[in-house]
Amino acid sequence: MKARYSVIIPMFNEEEVIAHTYDRLKKVMDTCGESYELLFVNDGSRDRTVEIMREITNRDKNVKLIDFSRNFGHQVAITAGMDYSEGQAVVVIDADLQDPPEVILEMIEKWKEGYDVVYAKRLKRHGETLFKKVTAKLFYRLLSSMTSVEIPTDTGDFRLIDRKVCDVLRGLKEKNRYVRGLVSWVGFRQTMVEYVREERFAGETKYPLKKMIRFALDGITSFSHKPLKIASYIGFFLSFASFIYLFLVLFQRLFTSWTVPGWASIVGVNLLFNGIVLMLLGVIGEYIGRIYDESKDRPLYIVRETTGYQDDEEISEA
């Protein structure tokens, strides 16, 4: 029989927390009194995460484990979870207990009221660095100023989606995925619950600055062409200004005796303009790189092994 609820938990090097996360999730999901599956996606952890989870999976039939062949990234791990999920409602939650599992029950309430998407808005964030809080705040505001899709600010991937929405998302095949934006983009009846984001239970963030920047660029490039537009505005403005300047130079050369002795200005203007041009090329490059990724059409992820699907054969025979 298919489980009614699927909970997706992406994990990357979470050996210190994962057994606790499982306990808390199990406790919460047991109280709701309906069938559920906990889908743990191991995103190429290099520690003991997968061993711990394999052991748990073998003794609890509600647990399933999808093991990637390497680290493919948080957003891809969530996507894989959606591909494998079978519940009527699908919940995505972080592995580090920053998102309190108890909130899932509130989400289920809303879902039963008839909402298709219930996202969780962070009222406060405990135990995160000032840098993280400030950059996150700026990023969500920047993104919403750049796009016409209404992506709620201060929400992560902690949310519940209905089976319908999950199936639509699975049909979106883009490679550089910004899942929380895609969920907003598809529409349906959406609502939110509020919560206080806890401190990480143990371990440290798996989002170093490099991953954060990539994530932010994926969000912006997936949902906005504004950087390209700004690039072309600056380009237009610069060529207009240089055209005027050219007239000035010609005028000086032909009609005045003030011939240019200074190379400083020439070098200065050159440097400035080359810098700007390279920057604009960089913006365009970000988009072209992503177009290239899409056109290669490689699979989003590679699964090394799945555990907990012992009934599979029976299902395919039936």
Which residue's CB is nearer to ligand UDP, number 4 or number 121? 121
Torsion of Cα atoms, 94 then 144 then 224 then 226, to 10°: -140
Query: Does 37 engage in binding with ligand UDP (CB under 6 A)?
Result: no
CA atoms within 13 Å, Cβ hemisphere of 257: 0
Using CB under 6 A as the binding rule, whether residue 77 contacts ligand UDP is answered as yes
The smaller minimum CB distance to Mg ion, of residues 110 and 122, is found at 122
The b/e string for 33-52 (b: 16+ C-beta within 10 A; e otherwise) is eeebbbbbbbbbbeeebbeb
What is the rounded CA–CA span in Å between residue 70 and residue 205? Answer: 18
Helix (H) or strand (E) holding 121: strand 117-125
The footprint of Mg ion (CB under 5 A) covers: 94, 96, 98
Residue 91's contacts (CB-CB under 8 Å, 6 or more residues apart) are: 5, 6, 7, 8, 104, 107, 159, 160, 161
Q: Which is nearer to Mg ion, 98 or 221 (CB)?
A: 98
Stretch binding ligand UDP (CB under 6 A), from 71-79, 160-168, 256-264, 274-282: 71-79
- What is the C-alpha to C-alpha distance for residues 80 and 69, in angstroms, rounded to an integer? 13
**CA 50 – CA 173 distance, rounded (Å):** 27
Q: Which is nearer to ligand UDP, 110 or 200 (CB)?
A: 200
14 near ligand UDP, rule: CB under 6 A: yes
Return the biggest CA–CA distance within the chain. 95
Cα(157)–Cα(142) distance, integer angstroms: 18
Q: Count of residues binding ligand UDP (CB under 6 A)?
A: 16
Answer for which of 140, 206, 219, 280 binds ligand UDP (CB under 6 A) is 206
Closer of 77 and 118 to ligand UDP (Cβ): 77
Least separation, in Å, of the C-beta of 97 and ligand UDP?
9
Residue 101 binds to ligand UDP (criterion: CB under 6 A): no
Please pick, from the candidates 6, 57, 71, 224, the single residue that binds ligand UDP as defined by CB under 6 A.
71
Q: Which is nearer to ligand UDP, 108 or 179 (CB)?
A: 179
Alpha helices of 10-94 — where are they, by DSSP H? 18-31, 49-59, 74-84
Binding status of residue 95 toward ligand UDP by CB under 6 A: yes
Q: Is 180 in the site for ligand UDP (CB under 6 A)?
A: no
Q: Which residues bind ligand UDP (CB under 6 A)?
A: 10-12, 14, 43, 71, 73-74, 77, 94-96, 98, 205-207
